[in-house]
Amino acid sequence: MVISPSKAAARIRAAAVDAFASAGYGGTTTRDIAARLDMSPAAMYPHYRSKEELLFAISFEGHTEALKVVEGADRPGEEPSVRLQELVSTFASWQAGHHSLARVVQYELTALTPEHYRTVVALRRSTTRVVREVVDAGVQSGDFTIPDAEGVTLALMSLCVDVCRWFPAGNYTNPEDIGKLYGDLALRMVGAA
């Protein structure tokens, strides 16, 4: 079987997510990752030249995917309440459904080089901006009553992101259930009319 370079790279990223999730980024070597795939470190080198490059690839992919999911959930033609509920619900259930990837993406950011960190932070800001625009639209239309748009947006994003830390827990083992709950809580947080 011939494996295409992009398929091989995807397998390496998946093995790295598993390795980072179980031993942490700092506790994993490129050799550990190669060993999970019965690969030599030399065979991995053409795809990723360092552990940090691999982390960046995972982080970039995860953040790009999260941004796409959030952008794809927005319905600019709808009322702010409908938009916010859909955004938060979709993002929260995505975080639940991808919790291993999301943990690596969220908690190992500080291991990136300054340049890679800036690239990833720009993606995060874009995701936050989608939510912030809906919050602002609701304030402007009078549908939302909030103490501070920055703080409320921060709290909404934080609530969604942290799902990857605790999910699953108790009766919340289904990503859709957490999406539904969080969509409702978001409307309460903005004081939706």
The reply on whether position 159 binds a second copy by CB under 8 A is yes
With CB under 8 A as the contact rule, the residue among 43, 113, 151, 193 that binds a second copy is 151
Pick between residue 69 and residue 186 the one whose CB is nearest to a second copy: 186
> What string marks each residue from 88 to 127 as x (binds a second copy by CB under 8 A) or -?
------------------xxx-xx----------------
Least Å from the CB of residue 72 to a second copy = 24
Does residue 23 belong to the site contacting a second copy (CB under 8 A)? yes
Cα–Cα distance measured from residue 165 to residue 185, given in angstroms and rounded to the nearest whole number:
19
User: What is the rounded CA–CA span in Å between residue 46 and residue 153?
Assistant: 41
* Structure tokens, 118: 């800036």
What count of other Cβ atoms lies within 10 Å of the Cβ of residue 104? 24
Q: Which positions lie near a second copy, rule CB under 8 A? A: 22-28, 106-108, 110-111, 147-148, 150-152, 154-155, 158-159, 161-163, 165-166, 169-172, 177-178, 181-182, 184-185, 188-189, 191
